[in-house]
Amino acid sequence: MFELLGIPPQALFGQLLLGLINGAFYAMLSLGLAVIFGMLNVINFTHGAQYMMGAFAAWLMLTILDIPFWVALVLAPIVVGLFGVVLEKVMLKRIYHLDHLYGFLLTFGLALVIEGLFQWKWGSSGAPYPSPIPGGTNLGFMFLPTYRGFVVVAALVICLVTWYGIERTRLGAYLRAATENPTLVRAFGINVPRLITLTYGLGVGLAALAGVLAAPIQQVSALMGTNLVLVVFAVVVIGGMGSIMGSIVTGFGLGLVEGLTKVFYPPASNTVIFVVMAIVLLVKPAGLFGQTK
Amino acid sequence: MPWCRKSRQSSKPMSVPVMAEALLKAPLLKVDGLQAWYGESHILHGVDFEIGHGELVTLLGRNGAGKTTTLKSVMGIVEKRSGSVTFEGRQLVGHPSNEIARLGIAYCPEERGIFSSLNVEENLLLPPVVKPGGMSLAEIYQLFPNLEERKRSQGTKLSGGEQQMLAIGRILRTGAPLLLLDEPTEGLAPVIVQRIGEIIRELKSRGFTILLVEQNFHFAATVADRHYVMEDGRVVDMIASADVQQNIGKLQAYLGV
């Protein structure tokens, strides 16, 4: 077998795949954050908890109701998305006119409460979720578990569908216009408050969808979203707040950067994204794809 | 408050044919004792005026007289308002702007409000159709050929004149019979102002009812049927276009030109 820079290819490609998978989750989660921030002007710190709720919903559906993975993949995001709709109607809509800080406090507090409740009910050790597509393929230079390959492709499709929906459809045009000037869009006869509720529901549903996809890879546990969401916020900052394509490209890109760091300088792998964030903020404060408002 | 008494006096009983005739003659938009506030500042102190079907009426007045606020109050996008605004007999005060738009009122703001994240055609297609009988996209492109040439351009990359035409063109698709135009000639070159004048006359001939806010009185005089003069948040005078020459001195005093 060949070697690259003294690194065995199994290690290199293995880490690249891991990076790609992490990147897929970064992309899906930062996409939802970007959509929500653009429309609501709220940084949704509950995103990680909602991702966890997606995984839990799938796990509960499987263990209690015997609902298979593929059905849960559709059902769990709808259930968690509806929970988001209620959250928006009951709480979030009351704070739009206030400073960003209140949105932060509310969504951060909600995340703590939700994760606390799940931890109290199901503990924090986590439960396994069986892989819906077991097995894998030996590609010669590495072993590719089928489900992981599926996750990368599914995440790409989800990201592109979301991008298309926002950039190329009528509803997306309403969303983009309302992000810029909600007052005028409303004066054209569009029910902007309902559009905002819908956007939040969709963003939360997207987080839950990522959670369902993550369930067979990770342990389903109350705190599975907390660590991930920290990195995702860094991804959003690097990509540029509110940029859709920025979130997708940065998400996958940073996953790969992280994977490569694990190969070449493992001690830095946990911090590399934050180093990138610091550099980007110094050079381009609005983020790689961001526009200064 | 005089407007309260006025509206109560008019409610005497009518026979059915008289009522039908009254409905036909009734103004499309009637504003009675309209007051509006931005935060703590009281901007409109009882505005009264009306517009008949197919009429083109201007609001004239100096900066800060309350013309733009009047349009915004009709549209329902000021923080707080009171008094009465009726459109086709329906009360608008107390309703949110999206419901008011759905009744058939279209608004073209002073700052034009072209969306930078939308291209020209997306900007044109943005306002939903609220009533049948609006203009088709093809008709709008016929009226504004420049817009068709640049339909894939980012909305805010157009020249000021083109952006104004986009802002006007955008609300013609909706089928709304009443157009509120806020200073469509502001900051534009004379030749473009002339073109916008032609377009506004064309819209009137197509049956649109238009409420136009203008600083440029000479422009307003060439297009409108009547002019309401505003001062300090009230309508203080009404002058028909035919009587403008006799009243030129008075108008100049009002407008400070």
pLDDT (0 to 100) of residue B23:
56
pLDDT per residue over A189-248, tens digit each?
999 999 999 999 999 999 999 999 999 998 899 999 988 888 898 998 898 876 788 889
- Say whether pLDDT at B1 is over 70: no
Helix (H) or strand (E) holding A181: none
- State the DSSP code for A1: -
Nearest chain B Cα distance for residue A164, angstroms:
14
| Cβ atoms B123, B140 nearer than 8 A | no
Distance CA A265, CA A249 (A): 23
- What is the number of structural domains in chain A? 1
CATH number at residue A23: 1.10.3470
Residue B94 identity: G
Nearest CB to B115 within list A177, A187, A189: A177
Taking the CB of residue B56, how many other CB atoms lie within 10 A of it? 22
Q: Are strands B105-108 and B178-182 parallel, antiparallel or unpaired?
A: parallel
Under 8 Å between Cβ of B167 and B126: no
Distance between CA A20 and CA A14 in Å, rounded? 10
**The pair of three-digit structure tokens given for residue A192, joined into one six-digit string:** 């902007």
**Does residue A167 form part of some domain?**
yes
Beta bridge partners of A144: A137
Residue B34 and residue B49: Cα distance in Å, rounded? 10
Contact A177 B130 (CB under 8 A): no
Q: Judge: B125–A190 Cβ closer than 8 Å, yes or no.
A: no
Q: What domains does chain B contain, in order, with CATH numbers? A: 29-255 (3.40.50.300)
- Do B107 and A192 count as a contact with CB atoms less than 8 A apart? no
In this prediction, residue B10 carries a pLDDT of 45
In whole angstroms, give the CA distance from residue B148 to residue B26.
39
Query: Could you report the average pLDDT of every consecutive run of 10 residues in chain A (293 residues)?
Result: 66 87 93 89 92 96 95 96 96 89 93 95 88 86 88 94 92 92 95 95 96 93 89 89 84 92 87 92 87 58
Question: What confidence tier does B4 reach under pLDDT thresholds 50, 70, 90?
Answer: very low
Cβ pair B174:A177 closer than 8 A: no
**Mean pLDDT for all residues in chain B:** 88
Confidence of residue B218 (pLDDT cuts 50, 70, 90): confident
CB B180 within 8 A of CB B106: yes
Query: ipTM for the complex?
Result: 0.87
In a domain, A3, yes or no: no
Q: Would you say residue A263 lies in a domain? A: yes
Helix, strand, coil percentages in chain A from 3-state DSSP, rounded to 5: 75, 5, 25
For residue B151, the one-letter residue type is K
The alpha-carbon gap from B236 to the nearest alpha carbon of chain A, in Å, equals 28
Are A189 and B118 inside 8 Å of each other by CB?
no
The pLDDT tens digits of the residues spanning B111-127 come to 999 999 899 999 999 99
| Any domain includes A293 | no
A262 occurs within a structural domain: yes
pLDDT of residue A123: 84
Q: Which residues on adjacent β-strands are paired with residue B103? A: none
Chain B segment 127-146 residues within 8 A of A by beta carbon are 127-128, 130
The domain of A111 spans 10-129+145-283
